[in-house]
């Protein structure tokens, strides 16, 4: 077991999650997981939720497999809200491992003020949970330790996103995963403007993770949930939706992160608007004939 696991186990909320989410799963599956942990491939470990920050591991695997299936050699990954960089470094390291398996290159960008949380505006930003100055970054230290595939984009997202979209070659490296962890409603609403670019700038559907929907205070009238709803109302060709069947596709079903994964559907993606002609028709096999 890596040092990362030991450090995490010392934290009370992580221990609580382990007990409620993992020890409540069938014993035989946890035994199988033990053998996967010792002998399994990296991909098997992702399937058995053995890679730290399972939400990132699942989403990045999805993105890599989608890219390969569509002949895409490079993808862009974004984390909104970096703070001290634990999430960004985790994403960078998972991408490095997946790159070796899938021959897909990843470029990872972490967006943050660099100075911690800005001022909240109103109740929709949950000022009872978050305040100005929370989650400060040690930029110099973080930049000196970041994996080579990661870079920081420093500033308020409303200022940095337009410049990023103008200067990043997303056509040759479409966005394949975004993690949203900006805590505030208004910051998330501004960050969602990343989804308004040319349709070729994205995989035609890709996972997004919303970190700040899981606390008891979170609700549909504020925070990330409100930002998602308003985005869907105002963007007819881009939609953000939970995959209702993700639960059935996972081995371990009690994990809270399953509820935090959504998918962006790029309805105007070229592949979704190509009417196929002159291709051999698919035939369904009837086992009774």
Ligand X SMILES: C[S@@+](CC[C@H](N)C(=O)[O-])C[C@H]1O[C@@H](n2cnc3c(N)ncnc32)[C@H](O)[C@@H]1O
Residues in contact with ligand X, counted by CB under 6 A, come to a total of 22
Closest residue to ligand X, judged by C-beta, is: 87
Q: Which is nearer to ligand X, 47 or 111 (CB)?
A: 111
Contact mark string toward ligand X, 120..149, x via CB under 6 A: ---------------x--------------
Q: Among 116, 127, 147, 199, indicate the residue that binds ligand X (CB under 6 A).
A: 116
From the number of C-beta atoms within 10 Å of its C-beta (0-12, 13-18, 19+), residue 180 rates as buried
Give me the least distance between CB of 165 and ligand X, in Å please: 15
Q: Which is nearer to ligand X, 83 or 208 (CB)?
A: 83
Q: Among 66, 94, 118, 194, indicate the residue that binds ligand X (CB under 6 A).
A: 118
| CA-only gyration radius of the chain, Å | 20
Q: Comparing C-alpha atoms, which of 76, 73, 81 is closest to residue 60?
A: 76
From the number of C-beta atoms within 10 Å of its C-beta (0-12, 13-18, 19+), residue 263 rates as middle
Q: Which is nearer to ligand X, 85 or 104 (CB)?
A: 85
At 134, phi and psi to the nearest 5? Answer: -65, 150
Q: Tokens 């409100």: give the residue.
A: 226
Q: Which is nearer to ligand X, 76 or 113 (CB)?
A: 113
Q: Which is nearer to ligand X, 127 or 199 (CB)?
A: 127
Find all residues with CB under 8 Å of 40, minimum gap 6, and list them.
48, 50
Q: Among 8, 124, 156, 254, indicate the residue that binds ligand X (CB under 6 A).
A: 156
Cβ(269)–Cβ(199) below 8 Å: yes
How many whole angstroms separate alpha carbon 247 and alpha carbon 258?
A: 7
How many whole angstroms separate alpha carbon 5 and alpha carbon 19?
A: 15
By the rule CB under 6 A, 33 interacts with ligand X: no
Q: Among 63, 108, 157, 213, indicate the residue that binds ligand X (CB under 6 A).
A: 157
By the rule CB under 6 A, 21 interacts with ligand X: no
Q: Among 66, 72, 77, 183, indicate the residue that binds ligand X (CB under 6 A).
A: 183
Q: Which is nearer to ligand X, 62 or 187 (CB)?
A: 187
Q: Which two tokens stand for residue 14?
A: 């992580």
By the rule CB under 6 A, 117 interacts with ligand X: yes
Q: Which is nearer to ligand X, 161 or 264 (CB)?
A: 161
Q: Which two tokens stand for residue 31?
A: 């035994």
At 46, phi and psi to the nearest 5? Answer: -65, -45
How many whole angstroms separate alpha carbon 114 and alpha carbon 154?
A: 6
How many whole angstroms separate alpha carbon 157 and alpha carbon 188?
A: 9
By the rule CB under 6 A, 49 interacts with ligand X: no
Residues 59-98 that bind ligand X (CB under 6 A): 79, 81-84, 86-87
By the rule CB under 6 A, 176 interacts with ligand X: no
Q: What is the DSSP letter of 163?
A: H
Find all residues with CB under 8 Å of 23, minimum gap 6, and list them.
30
Q: Which is nearer to ligand X, 191 or 258 (CB)?
A: 191
By the rule CB under 6 A, 224 interacts with ligand X: no
Binding site for ligand X (CB under 6 A): 79, 81-84, 86-87, 111-113, 116-118, 135, 156-157, 181-184, 187, 190
């Amino acid at each position: 077991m890596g040092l990362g696991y030991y450090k995490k186990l010392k934290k009370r909320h992580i221990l609580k999650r382990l007990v409620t989410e993992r020890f409540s799963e069938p014993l035989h599956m946890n035994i199988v997981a033990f053998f996967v942990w010792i002998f399994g491939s990296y991909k098997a470990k992702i399937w058995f939720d053995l890679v730290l920050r399972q939400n990132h591991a699942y989403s990045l695997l999805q993105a890599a497999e989608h890219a390969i299936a569509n002949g895409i050699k490079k993808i862009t990954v974004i984390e909104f809200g970096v703070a001290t960089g634990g999430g960004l470094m985790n994403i960078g390291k998972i991408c490095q491992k997946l790159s070796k398996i899938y021959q897909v290159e990843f470029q990872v960008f972490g967006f943050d003020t660099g100075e911690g949380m800005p001022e909240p505006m109103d109740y929709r930003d949950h000022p009872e949970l978050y305040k100005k100055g929370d989650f400060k970054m040690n930029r110099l230290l973080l930049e000196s330790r970041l994996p080579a595939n990661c870079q920081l984009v420093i500033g308020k997202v409303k200022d940095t996103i337009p410049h990023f979209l103008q200067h990043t070659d997303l056509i040759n490296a479409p966005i394949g995963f975004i993690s949203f962890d900006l805590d505030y409603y208004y910051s998330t609403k501004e960050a969602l403007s990343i989804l308004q670019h040319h349709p070729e700038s994205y995989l035609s559907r890709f996972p997004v993770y919303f970190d700040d929907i899981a606390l008891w205070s979170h609700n549909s009238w504020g925070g990330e949930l409100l930002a998602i709803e308003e985005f869907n109302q105002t963007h007819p060709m881009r939609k953000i939706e939970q995959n209702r069947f993700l639960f059935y596709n996972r081995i371990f079903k009690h994990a809270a992160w399953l509820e935090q994964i959504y998918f962006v559907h790029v309805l105007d993606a070229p592949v979704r608007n190509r009417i196929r002609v002159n291709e051999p028709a698919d035939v369904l096999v009837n086992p009774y004939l």
